[in-house]
Structure 1
C-alpha cells in the first residue's frame, strides 16, 4: 500500500468509525483529523499494538478535544486500523 493510499484509508476509518466531534457528513471538514492521521501512519508503520492505537485515540479525545473519551469506540477503530485491507 502506498503512503497516499494508507493515509486515505486511515482518514476514511476515522471519519466513518471514530469521528468524536460528529463532522463526518460535513464535506468542508474532510481534513479535520488529518494531523492525527499523519501520526497514525507512523504508528502503524512502527507496528504499534491495538492497545497502543486505542490509547492514542483516547488521548486525543481527552487532551486535544476536551471530550469524555469512548474507550470502546477507540478499541474498535484500532482493530479496524490494524485489519488487512
Structure 2
C-alpha cells in the first residue's frame, strides 16, 4: 500500500469513528474498530470519483440496512464532504 493510500485508510477510519459515529460509540475505547469493516468500501467510493451524494447515500444505507436504525443520521452529506477533503489532502 502506498503511503498516500495508507494515510487515506487511516483518515477514513478516524472520520467514520469520531465524526460519523451513528452508534455513538466514540467514547468507548473497546469499540474503536466498530466501523473499520466499512473503510474499504468507502475507499472504493472515494477512489472511483463518486460524488458526495453517492457516498452519503452509502453511509445512510449502512445505518438503516446494517445497523438497524429506522432513520439515517442527518450528517451523512457533511461526512461525505469531509471524506472527499481527506482524499484530496492525501493525494494532493
Residue pairs, 1:48-67, within 5 angstroms: 48-67=50-69
Which structure 1 segments of 5+ residues have no match? none
How many residue pairs match? The answer is 84
TM-score when normalising by structure 2: 0.84
The corresponding residue for 2:49 is 47
The Cα of 1:49 is off from its aligned counterpart by 0.6
**Greater C-alpha Rg:** 2
Between 31-40 and 50-59, the greater mean CA deviation after superposition: 31-40
The corresponding residue for 2:72 is 69
TM-score when normalising by structure 1: 0.90
RMSD: 1.2
Which structure 2 segments of 5+ residues have no match? none
Moved beyond 3 Å, runs of 4+? none
The corresponding residue for 1:14 is 16
Given the alignment of the two structures, is residue 30 of structure 1 paired with residue 65 of structure 2, yes or no? no
The Cα of 1:7 is off from its aligned counterpart by 0.8
